[in-house]
């Protein structure tokens, strides 16, 4: 579901607004995205530029940042965000990066099992 300024995503029954924002948002000065559990908002920096510290495919990078922040929202809504591993940025990043591969592996395995 979308409105003019955002996309709405359902995170375990909670509606989160996903927005592209510019760096006038102080929370995006030192990061490329954030998940605000209190306002149910996920923000991705709209103006990510290629530098020595970024990748060349910025659209793919923004999608990875979005997946990362969505993982934070799922962990929060499931009550796991404040566990030691649930708030660990490395684990959240691993899930975000590997998510597409996990979905493919699970889907192909389920399809194969249904055919037997």
Domains annotated on the chain, with CATH: 7-115 (1.10.10)
pLDDT band at 51 (very low <50, low <70, confident <90, very high): confident
The yes-or-no verdict on residue 82 having pLDDT over 90 is no
The yes-or-no verdict on residue 101 having pLDDT over 60 is yes
Nearest to 17 by CA among 26, 32, 6, 27: 6
Can you give the pLDDT at residue 49? 79
The yes-or-no verdict on residue 1 having pLDDT over 50 is no
**Angle of the 58-77 helix axis to the 89-115 helix axis, nearest 10:** 90
CA 10 to centroid of chain Cα atoms: 13
Return the sign of the alpha-carbon dihedral for residues 45, 22, 87, 79: negative
Tally helices (H) and strands (E) across the chain: 2, 4
Can you give the pLDDT at residue 2? 46
Query: Distance between CA 56 and CA 85 in Å, rounded?
Result: 30
Q: What is the mean pLDDT of residues 45-58?
A: 81
Helix (H) or strand (E) run with residue 30 in it: none
């Amino acid at each position: 579901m979308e409105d003019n300024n955002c996309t709405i995503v359902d995170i375990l029954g909670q509606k989160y607004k996903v927005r592209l924002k510019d760096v006038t948002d102080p929370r995006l000065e030192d990061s490329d995205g954030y998940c605000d559990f209190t306002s149910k908002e996920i923000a991705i920096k709209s103006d990510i530029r290629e530098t020595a510290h970024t990748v060349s495919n910025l659209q793919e990078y923004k999608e990875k940042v979005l997946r990362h922040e969505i993982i934070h929202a799922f962990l929060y809504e499931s009550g796991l965000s404040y566990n030691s591993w649930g708030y660990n940025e490395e684990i959240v990043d691993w899930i975000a990066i590997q998510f597409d591969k996990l979905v493919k592996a699970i889907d192909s395995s389920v399809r194969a099992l249904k055919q037997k």
